[in-house]
Each structure stands twice: as C-alpha cells, then as structure tokens.
Amino acid sequence: MLWSPCFVLSPLLLALRFVNAQSASSTPSSAVTTAAIDLLDAGHILHFLDVVDAFGHISVRNPDNASQFIMSFAIAPALATSQSLVTYDINNATALHLTFNTTITGSAIPSSFLERFIHSQIYKAFPNVTSVVHAHTTEVLPFGAAGVGLKAQMGTAGSVGALKNGSPIFDTDALPTSVLPEDQPHDLLIRNEMLGDALAHTFQDGSQLVLMKGHGMAVRGASIRDAVYRSFYAKQSAVVQAQAVLLGGLARGGQQPMGLSVREAMDAAVTNEGESLIDRAWNLWVAQVGTDALYTNDLAPGR
C-alpha cells in the first residue's frame, strides 16, 4: 500500500479544528459585546455626571447566561476598559474569568469589589433586574442620614416612587446579630451574601432604589441605560426635594414638599423611561464622555 500524507495530517487537522473551535467558543458573543460597550459607557457616564467618583460600580446580567453578571474588577469606573471586565457567578459572587480574556481565571484575576454581593444578591432576588448601580452620591447621602426617604419630585425621577415614607432605607446598625455579628466589621460595607440578601430584601414595590444610611444608594434597572437614567435622576430629584423642604419651611405655617402622587410617579416612570426618551439622554451622555480623553471605551466602534 502506498503511503498517503492524509493519514498523518488528519489528526493534526482535527487538533487544529478543535483549537479553533475552542478559541471561537471563548470569544464573547455579539450580545455580550454589545452589553459590555454600554457597561463601559455607563461607568464613564456615571462618573461624568457625578453620581460616582473613585468608588461605586455598575453591573449587567450576562445576556447569554442569566446566572452570571458582568462588572469590572476593583477600579474607578472612569478608568475601566474591556480588560477590566470580569464575569461573576450570581450564586456566590465568585469571579469566574475576565470577560474578554477567558484564560485569566482564579487568583490571576485582579481583586474584585468587596461589595459585589450588592449585585449578586439583587440579581438573585429579582430575576427581572438586568442592571444594578451602587453609588455614594453626595446629594443622596443626607436623606439616609436623616432617615428621610426620597420621593419623586419630577417626571424624570418617577422610578424613585411616591411611597408614604419615601424610598426604603437600609441601616446596617439595625440588623440582627444573626446577619451582622458583633465580632464582624460594622463598616457599612456589603461584604457577604447575608448582608447582600438583607439589602436586596429592603427594596419595596413602588420604588427602584434603596437608600443606604451613611453609604449611598443601590438602584435596580431593566437595562444598563435604564439603571444609569434612574441613578442620575434620583440624584437630581434629591436636590429638588432638599430645596423644596427648605422652601416649605419658609412658607407660612411651613409645609412639606408634596412631590408626585403615586399615580403620577408610576405613569411618569412609564413615559419617561420609554426607550426613545432614555436613548435621547443616553446619546447625549455618550457624546459627552466620548470627547473626554479621560474615558476609554475600547470596544466601541470609532472610539
């Protein structure tokens, strides 16, 4: 029988095909890439709008796997790039791999945010939530400190809600020792699943945010753009509410600001959080961060 090179090359070709298939399977899908572009823009926008500073974070549920979420490792949101993004397991907030370099796993992944449990436990508690923001927004902090919930003061902040006592307030000092033992740090940080669960279950129907006493706020969204929109207008509404309280005190007899009614807040949220209006704001914000050299979105075409 004549020797044929195909019998020698076939195993090699099969191996190459296997390697190529493996490489292709590890490349993020178009859905993940699209979400990552928005996620990077979101971190930059939140910083540009003074919702976050060096601290704070935003995440997105993995569009290809609802049991995972994507968020940067511990880096200031303004400085995040595609190589900062990490895919996490929602079940225990474990870092699985870099989203755009799946060969980087385990201890090779740079340090994660300690408070990633805010995100994992909100996703776990609310399967319809697609994005989560945690921010230490200065305009919001006084309300948690005073024990006064936020109430929507304008249509663009309808998702803040109009609950009787305002948006719920999470207070670590009020937690039972079964959740926060005396021998654990009482530093306000959501550093484990139990604290994340307690925060997640502080949300109430009628408001898309929870104030965190001495800490800031957590916001849940139906999309990345929605979460950014809600976070920014919660900040704006907080400014209006604080000013309205002062003006109300100057009025004859004094009066608390009315804010929106429950019906007004609900209907305003539906109208103002429609895709076209959110995209109008989003496109402006993307244009603003896109011309600022501080922010790098290396996934976005032409930027």
- Residues tagged active-site: 115
The span from the CA of 125 to the CA of 166, in Å, is 21
Structure tokens at 227: 């979460």
- 3-state secondary structure at position 23: helix
C-alpha dihedral sign at 265, 268, 273, 279: negative
DSSP label at 113? P
Indicate the residue type of 211.
L
d(C-alpha 278, C-alpha 159), whole Å: 13
209 vs 220: CA distance, rounded Å: 6
Residue 106 three-state SS? helix
DSSP labels for 53-84? SSS-EEEEE-TT-TTEEEEE-SS-GGG--GGG
Distance CA 7, CA 243 (A): 81
